[in-house]
Each structure stands twice: as structure tokens, then as C-alpha cells.
Chains A and B, each alone.
Chain A
Amino acid sequence: MANTASFKAPPAAEQDAVFQAIKRFLENRTGGVFTQPVELSTPLMNSHLDSLTVLQLMMFLSDELQFELQEDDFVEEHFGTVGALVARILARRGAA
């Protein structure tokens, strides 16, 4: 995640809102895939999520955080860890 820090730092509150939304989905909507508390370092690609749950996560975030899903959102590098996904969504919202 060191490489995301070199971009303009988003306000901490916004970053936390995105993180909390992802955490909420993963802890509450995946039926026990994440038994440990979700952190920024929690892996996504390398987890037991199935494709449908990844899609549901993105739909949930798109509803909660009010952005339109686009093709480039679904690139594996954004799903390395929860932190990587937070960075991607912040970048998306910043650009919008």
C-alpha cells in the first residue's frame, strides 16, 4: 500500500467511510467467510469469496457510496487487499 500514499492524500474521513462500507459488507453479508475483523490488509483475491460475492460487494458499494460501476473497476490489482480497493474507490470518486 506504500504506492498509494504517493497520490494526493484523500481526507481521512472519506477514506474511513469507504473502508467501513467494505468492512460492513464483508463482515455481514458473506455468511462467515471473514471470521476475523476486516482490516486494510485483509486479502480479497486470495480469499474464499466467489465471483458472485465480489459482484455483490461492488454493487453494494456503488449503491452506498453513489458511484456508477465501470469496466475498469473490476481489475484484479484493485482487489489485492481491502486497502487496495479503498484506494481505487477513492480515486474513482475523486475523478468523478
Chain B
Amino acid sequence: MSPVLLHELLSGCADRDDREAIVDGERTFTYAQLRQDVERMACRFVASGAIRGDRVAIFLPKSYHECVAIFAASRADLVFVPINSGLRPQQVRHIVEDSGANLVVTSSAMFGQVSDALHGLDPSRAIICADKPGESREIPPARSIGEDLAAILYTSGSTGKPKGVMLSHRNLLAGTRIVRSYLGIGPEDRILAILPFSFDYGLNQLLTAVEQRAKLVLFDFKMGDEIVRALARHEITGLAGVPTVWAFLTLSAPSLARTPLPHLRYVTNSGGAVPSATVGRLRTLLPQTKIYLMYGLTEAFRSTFLEPEEIDRRPNSIGKAIPECEVFPVREDGRRAAPGEPGILVHRGPTVSMGYWNRPDDTARVLRPNPLRPPEMGGDLVCWSGDRVVEDEEGFLYFVAREDAMIKSSGYRISPTEVEEVLMTTGAFRQVAVVGLRDEWLGQRLHVVGVAGTAPIETSAVLRAAAESLPSYMVPRSIELVNSLPTTPNGKVDYQRLVAERS
């Protein structure tokens, strides 16, 4: 029977239990071990008092324990909320508080960070250190069904603090099945996981590997050459990255040109467009490797991909809808855009999320009735991306621009508002705007345009304060002072003009 719940990806196929599942540093774990540890961890979750539907926040570095905790949440009828281990205390606190997680899984090394972040919150919340043994008891089989909430992934929105995108078991399994099928992932694949599992695209590496009993190598790096070494050492067949990863590999990894990588079957990009020049360099450096350009937003998990055979002809395209889904541009008047006519990218299909946790108004903005078919005539709920795209005569889609001021930097979707709020708390500015400027390495780099308050601004002190409150990918690169910010006719800061004047 095909799996309905996330942890059921681990059941069945006893003949493949001795296969290597996860490589974490020098340690390798088989599928049999993984399944056993998932069961044990699920028992610990239940012993801590968690009941069906409770949220469990997972604040761990990319590790075997993190993989175990993700599947254990499903096994125990819980909802997992992965938290990027690079986040600062105030973001960690926001996610735990907003999701209402009453259980936090971390490690002894990070326990202090968690306690600091949660200081003053309801103390009844249980904190489990995954690396320490704990009380457990046998638990009954899971009772959830595919429509139940499986995960909440936090992502930045154009307004306010990060929001949690709700994904059902059915969403996650559809995403796993769809991506695995078009990438042709099978049991012989060895996948390098360099992206965080708090990111839907990163999480998908774990899920597709487990579904296929393939091998997943967990990996963190500081320099491009380290990636090259890991690719060679583990004979990696599949690598998923964001634009910055390709910049690391093509601009700062001298060993790539002299290291043959005959096993590397495919690489995939998502989290922002790769400059055509980078695609060209990758094609030269990895002539045997298929390059898949993908596009997705957490709200619909994954949306489009470009067949590798098309990449030389249309290196700027985001391709066509992933299997089982339909993706098309819609004009402002609600009609489907004709080829050449820009429209908002709309996504239908089994990966459309359940909306934002506890935010019905925001959900109503992103999940809307199908514009082409009314509900009483079988119309479904579709995902409204906020990305303006255009389709060519052959049905290939191209990204045009964001509808709002959201920034894509090093694979992350960043809300200018969130960075601006932190900058304003330094007291240095009267007014401030954060914009994304084109950057060869990051896709976009964060640039601050500010109006000084009464005292002169000390740039380094401001950036220091920002670095204390924001994860590294949200810390601006540069600050520029102006006398006033340009505004649109209705009095809002004119972000488009700020960017245009600096491009």
C-alpha cells in the first residue's frame, strides 16, 4: 500500500533495511536503525505529554537526530516545525510562540540557546535533548490521516513577522512523489543535503531519499572546495542548491575544474534565478550533469521545473508545471494571460498548502478560488504566488518580477519589513528602507537606504546591532544615507524607484 503519512515512507521494504540511509559526519545509519530510532523518539514525544495535533519545534543543526525527529513527529501524530539552526533567539522565540509548540527538540549543545530564546514564556513547555537518552513508552499506531497537518514551515511574508505555511501529509507525500519522478531518483542515488530541512526545497531531499531507500549525505560547508571534495568522496549523484551554492562552485572552488565527478547525475536550482553566465560555467565544468532549474514557493511546496534539454535554448526560463499540477499566469482581471502577456503565477494541484497557521486573512490572500472555474462548478482552491511571470508561445514560463518588495538573497525569501524593524530599533534612523540589489554571488544583496535621526549615524554600530538580532542571510551589506525616501502617489515608500536608481 502506498504511504499516507510521512513516517510511512519508512515502512515496508524489509529487504532494503540494511541499506545505508543517512551519513552524518563519520557515522552512517541504515534504514533499520533509522526506523528504530524514529519509533524510540516518537515514544519519547508521547511520554513528554504531547497529544495528537500538538506542534513539536525542531531546533537542531542538520543532523541524523533532526531526520529522526521529523519522522518521529509524524509517527506520534504530531506536527513538526523545523527551525533553521542559524536563526537568532528572537526568531526562534517567535516561531515557538506563534506555532504554539509545547515540545521543543534540540541538542545538549544548543540547550542554552533554546532556554535563552524561550526565557519568560510558559515554562510548561517540554524540551528534549535528542542526543540524551530519555523516558519512553510503547505507543499505539498513528491515527492521523493524509489530510491532517504534518508540518509548519516558517517563511517571510511581505508584511509582519514570518508566517507558518501548513502542509498536510498529503502535500508532503505528493511533493516527494512528484519531484522524485521527474528527477528519476532511485535506490542507487546518493544525495548531498547542503540545504536546511526548514526550507521546503531542502526537506524534499530527505523525503525523496527515504522514499526511495537512497543514501542521504548531510553536509555543511564554508568553502566551495569542500563541496567538491564531498561530491567526489561520497560519489554523489544528486545535488540541490540555491544560486549562492552555484556561485560558490563556479567562482570560488578552484578544485572543481580538476576534479572529475562522473557520478554526479543531476543538480537542481531553486530559491531564485541563476544568472545565465553561471549556468554557462556550470555546463562547462559539469558537462555530463543534467541541470534542472526549478521554481517553487513554500505555499505550494514546488511549482515548475525546466527540462535539462531546454537549458541551452532558454536558460532564463523557470520551465513548466511539475507533474500532477497546473501552473499558469493570471491577469489582473482574473483571466488567464495569453502568451507574452504578464500575469501572476497561479498554481493548482496536490502540493497547494493548507495556508498560513493561525492567519486566516493572509491565507485568504494566497489561497483563492480558482479564477477560471467557480466553486459550484468544481473549482478548487489555488495558490496565488505574488510572482509576475510571462508565458511564451510554447508554454514555457519566465519570471518577471515580484508583486511586492520581497527580496531573494542566497536562496532565502526576505521581508524588507523584518530587517527594517530591526534597524529602526537601533534608534539611528528616522526612516529606513531595505532593498535588494543585483549581486553575482547572492542573487540580490541587502542594501539599506536610510534617513538619519538627530544624531549622526555610526554605520558599524548599526550593522553590529543588526547582526546580533538577525541571521547572517538577513544582515545588510551596506548602508546609504539620504535626505528623504521617495514615495509613491499614495504615500508609500517607492521601493521600485529605490532599486531602479541603484541598478
Contacts and interface: CB of A to CB of B under 8 A. Distances in A.
Interface in B249-286: 251-254
A31 interface: yes
A30 B473 CA distance: 11
Interface stretch (A10-18, A70-78, A82-90): A70-78
Given A30-B467, A56-B472, A74 B225 contact: yes
A28 interface: yes
B473 A75 contact: no
B254 A28 contact: no
Contact of A59 (B88, B221, B254, B441): B441
Secondary structure at the A interface, as helix, strand, loop or mixed, is helix
A71 B222 contact: no
A56 B460 CA distance: 14
B460 A76 contact: no
Contacts of A30: 467, 472
A80 to B, nearest CB: 12
A79 to B, nearest CB: 7
A74 B475 CA distance: 21
A10 to B, nearest CB: 24
A29 B244 CA distance: 19
A74 B253 CA distance: 7
Contacts of A32: 468
B251 A71 contact: yes
A63 B439 CA distance: 14
Categorize the interface residue count of chain A.
Answer: 20 to 34
Contacts, number: 77
A24 interface: yes
Interface string A54-77: 111001100100000101111110
B224 interface: yes
B441 A28 contact: no
B244 A28 contact: no
B223 A74 contact: yes
Contact of A56 (B88, B253, B469, B475): B475
B226 interface: yes
Interface in A1-55: 24, 28-32, 45, 49-55
A76 B244 contact: no
B221 A75 contact: no
B477 A59 contact: yes
Given A52-B244, A71-B251, A31 B467 contact: yes
B86 interface: yes
Contacts of B467: 28-31
A63 to B, nearest CB: 8
B47 interface: no
Contacts of B479: none
Interface string B460-481: 1001100111111101011000
Contacts of A54: 222-223
16 contacts: A24-B460, A30-B472, A31-B470, A31-B472, A51-B220, A51-B223, A52-B473, A54-B223, A55-B248, A56-B475, A59-B477, A72-B254, A73-B252, A74-B248, A75-B223, A76-B225
Interface of A: 24, 28-32, 45, 49-56, 59-60, 63, 69, 71-76, 79
Given A31-B471, A53-B472, A74-B224, 20 more contacts: A28-B463, A28-B464, A29-B463, A31-B470, A31-B472, A51-B222, A51-B223, A52-B244, A54-B222, A55-B441, A56-B472, A56-B477, A71-B252, A71-B253, A73-B252, A74-B223, A74-B225, A75-B223, A76-B223, A76-B225
